[in-house]
Structure 1
């Protein structure tokens, strides 16, 4: 079992941290939050994917132009000052940043200004020590860094068009053409690599600080990658593309109770035969990369390791798709060979069939139990695996996730019968004021080895605390933790609950 003892943690993405610059970052507030986690008896800090986000994709961390790169928006300006790459005067700005939500547009505009200043300062008077670190980083990450930095710079060069619309010799990666264009844009390419160096440097420092406090990161890895990404451009043979290198088949999920037409995600599906010929090297590099960053890795959409819903690219909905078996067993076997301890959490939510359950059991992976899904009053209500009396130790229990309503929002919108079922189950009067505390205690009292609670549920926030509403594209991923909301009173209360239920 990868979770050594009963413990607990908080789900809070880096973008949600307080900061002065419109978006949470890897700077001082991240270290303050780590101190608070330690004081509250927490042992895990769960986050969302760290990859670059795009406004055109709704700023979703699950839709990125790289499966390996870090998001430069998370770079801390304050730490760049400490490194001597910026001066305090460089951080003065005319932007007006809200403190209750991420302002992606303003934050991006400001960060781009300081990235240029930091890189220019490095080029003009950077230390020899920093230069050696940068060179070592480039060697260590050569498998993806050059492709990524070229992709970002080439895309800007081609008026920010998708790579399928670039000049043919660049789109199809003709070596002579790539070398010539890269030479012309060498400074910009180096800047993108330098930003990645700074990101991973700041991340590693934060991770080591947390480890010294016995706090461990749980990361998150999407199953698919975006079509307009460095990964697909650099490895087109690993995806189902047509002769014009456009997707021939795309991902989604079939129609269900929530959607008559299913969900059409639109990301290209994998060419597993081509991947198998190379012993799944790209996938293994991706897993290895993530497990260097995190102590535990949540594999999103785990059911696709058994079978996935494949839809012809010409379709406008997901109705006319089909289930296609994937080589998840072979892939997980290779992962176990590289990482015998298998520090992986299976995101096994949604329509899960027996083959998926068998795969999880075969590799002894902890699955997810979401309490918000437990209280649906019907004739089979008490058979639900989400109810605590059906929990098993090798699992991770959540009050909710980033894709759900907060506990308070759920309770406000719940049917009267569901509310009654919840009150009867916990054998106490539940109200709009105390529902988040009762649900948190229910999670902590579970036999599940690990309990994770979103920060919004720790604070008892309602609809204003929702991070993401699936199938919507506007206003998501913006929630921020305002400074001093996670205060000493809350920390003391959380530690007391942690101690009561033996999760210290």
Structure 2
């Protein structure tokens, strides 16, 4: 990676009049803001449909795009919606996504767009649509049928469907596809709309010198087309329920660990197939983005296996992951993988060895740097070049919120006080620098040797805990819902960020 910097902002957090950020004008304006600020990377969370708790990490599909990101304005331009269809809209809050409200409203618009396509197929390039369906059939057919069946069964988990559908009896699937033909085609169409709008935005970003970083969670949701269509790849019982699930063991922060509940992979079966499903997963995302953050990378070296009957993560065990063979097999098919390894938490030598073997850069988060001493690898003076450094991630509080202690802290007060004292000394904080703690931290990372540094937009804006994107282990209404207002993306903000980018040699001309 050339020496550069970028901003983390999920598209749902963009401004706009439809209750949620989308791939319309505001996305292009944000790309312009990045270019004016000298930023060369736009990082985002998984682009998939949201699932439990509206999380992009609990999606009904790891391949599909989020239909809520489809821009109504672009649909009006195509003649799939009329101006009147979008003129009468609810008074959505500007600073939050109200998902229940948004889903109802946008699905209504998308239903209208599909009805228009049925009546007037010439409003789009119909040949291009069917070619898209043909090229993506390896995941799209299962996803479209899964979503159609889910709608037909009132949103029930697929293991609660009639047994012949849950176990994918060929005759039952054929009959369901005929019976639900319209809903099946509708979901294909929505994915086509997402694909076209996304690829147009991607091309615009590339024209502006901006690369895109996507995100692959290591695990997928049990209630997903991925598990339903590929039960042989997961540890499931005869009824399709997980027998063992994912999580992490007890640690300093949690006496009972974290029980995530995702079904675990049968890596022996995956290896026997040449990791075909995983290869497809990487290939689809690499059509959309330039770099991939691979979440919970340590799980490829070893993972925590929890019996599904256990209510917590306490009674689990470590199991060896697929290791180097996994990445070697996929790289033989796709070439070198542009992966950033999410290696936060307790990292063992086998994880580091796996990263070094393939040259995958890891991550460093400045908020974690001050809990230890001068040897912490999260401190800027210990960075290496092959690294992506962050002020914080989507799972952290904002820098301002962290510094002010606005969020509930799980650490003992004396540990927090000691960390703040060390941070004050390390960052040489006087009154002015403490008032602008976010800029002080941004400057510290900009000046480091790390090839790539990334800042959540909330930190560039200097926002407090009210702007936090996610609090792990919770399902509160504020998770995944923060949005930026258009008025906050001011020219002077872009200019200030650009000056720092230039001072520390991260502008495109300095590559």
Instruction: Tell me the TM-score normalized by structure 2.
Output: 0.95
Report SS of the residue matched to 2:487.
coil
Q: CA deviation at 1:285?
A: 0.5
Structure 2: distance between partners of 1:154 and 1:284: 27
Partner of 1:466: 468
Query: 474, 480, 484: which is aligned to 2:483?
Result: 480
Q: Does 1:233 align with 2:236?
A: no
Query: 227, 235, 243: which is aligned to 1:248?
Result: 243
Q: CA deviation at 1:423?
A: 2.5
Structure 1: distance between partners of 2:198 and 2:267: 32
Partner of 2:141: 146
Structure 1: distance between partners of 2:487 and 2:50: 27
Residues 206-237 of structure 1 show CA distances to partners (whole Å, capped at 9, x for unaligned) of 00000011101000110000001001110100
Partner of 1:176: 171
Structure 2: distance between partners of 1:328 and 1:288: 20
Partner of 1:391: 383
Report SS of the residue matched to 1:384.
coil
Partner of 2:419: 418
Partner of 2:50: 53
Structure 2: distance between partners of 1:220 and 1:328: 20
Q: CA deviation at 1:479?
A: 0.6
Structure 1: distance between partners of 2:37 and 2:123: 41
Aligned residues: 496
Q: CA deviation at 1:419?
A: 2.5
Q: Which runs of 4+ in 1 moved over 4 A?
A: none
Q: CA deviation at 1:36?
A: 0.7
Q: CA deviation at 1:330?
A: 1.1
**Contact kept in structure 2, 1:26 and 1:76, CA below 8 Å:** yes
Query: 393, 397, 405: which is aligned to 1:401?
Result: 393
**Contact kept in structure 1, 2:18 and 2:89, CA below 8 Å:** no
Q: CA deviation at 1:94?
A: 4.6
**Bigger shift: 413-422 or 457-466?**
413-422
Unmatched segments (≥5 aa) in structure 1? none
Question: 1:93-104 maps to which residues of 2 (within 5 A)?
Answer: 93-104=88-99
Partner of 1:257: 252
Residues 128-174 of structure 1 show CA distances to partners (whole Å, capped at 9, x for unaligned) of 75211110100110100000000001011122111101111111111
Structure 1: distance between partners of 2:82 and 2:20: 20
Structure 2: distance between partners of 1:442 and 1:339: 36
**Contact kept in structure 1, 2:117 and 2:123, CA below 8 Å:** no
Partner of 1:209: 204
**Bigger shift: 254-263 or 422-431?**
422-431
Structure 2: distance between partners of 1:115 and 1:428: 51
Query: 65, 73, 82: which is aligned to 1:87?
Result: 82
**Contact kept in structure 1, 2:275 and 2:330, CA below 8 Å:** no
Q: Does 1:159 align with 2:154?
A: yes
Partner of 1:134: 129
**Contact kept in structure 1, 2:247 and 2:258, CA below 8 Å:** yes
Structure 2: distance between partners of 1:122 and 1:170: 29
**Contact kept in structure 2, 1:6 and 1:503, CA below 8 Å:** yes
Structure 2: distance between partners of 1:478 and 1:129: 32
Residues 356-381 of structure 1 show CA distances to partners (whole Å, capped at 9, x for unaligned) of 011001111100011111112x5xx0
Query: 266, 288, 310: which is aligned to 2:261?
Result: 266
Let me know the Cα RMSD of the aligned residues: 1.2
Structure 2: distance between partners of 1:341 and 1:39: 31
Partner of 2:270: 275
Q: Does 1:42 align with 2:39?
A: yes
**Bigger shift: 157-166 or 31-40?**
157-166
Structure 2: distance between partners of 1:102 and 1:328: 39
Q: CA deviation at 1:112?
A: 1.0
Structure 2: distance between partners of 1:403 and 1:85: 37
Instruction: Tell me the TM-score normalized by structure 1.
Output: 0.97
Structure 1: distance between partners of 2:208 and 2:80: 28
**Contact kept in structure 2, 1:93 and 1:110, CA below 8 Å:** no
Query: 501, 505, 511: which is aligned to 1:498?
Result: 501
Q: CA deviation at 1:338?
A: 2.9
**Contact kept in structure 2, 1:63 and 1:226, CA below 8 Å:** yes
Query: 432, 435, 458: which is aligned to 1:433?
Result: 435
**Contact kept in structure 2, 1:9 and 1:44, CA below 8 Å:** yes
Report SS of the residue matched to 1:392.
coil
Structure 2: distance between partners of 1:364 and 1:336: 13
Report SS of the residue matched to 1:383.
coil
Structure 2: distance between partners of 1:489 and 1:246: 54
Q: Does 1:31 align with 2:28?
A: yes
| Alpha carbons of structure 1 residues 417 and 294: separation in structure 2 relative to 1, 3 Å | same
**Contact kept in structure 2, 1:411 and 1:432, CA below 8 Å:** no
Q: Does 1:75 align with 2:80?
A: no
Unmatched segments (≥5 aa) in structure 2? 406-412
Structure 1: distance between partners of 2:123 and 2:12: 32
Partner of 1:305: 300
Residues 380-414 of structure 1 show CA distances to partners (whole Å, capped at 9, x for unaligned) of x0000001111000000100000001111111128
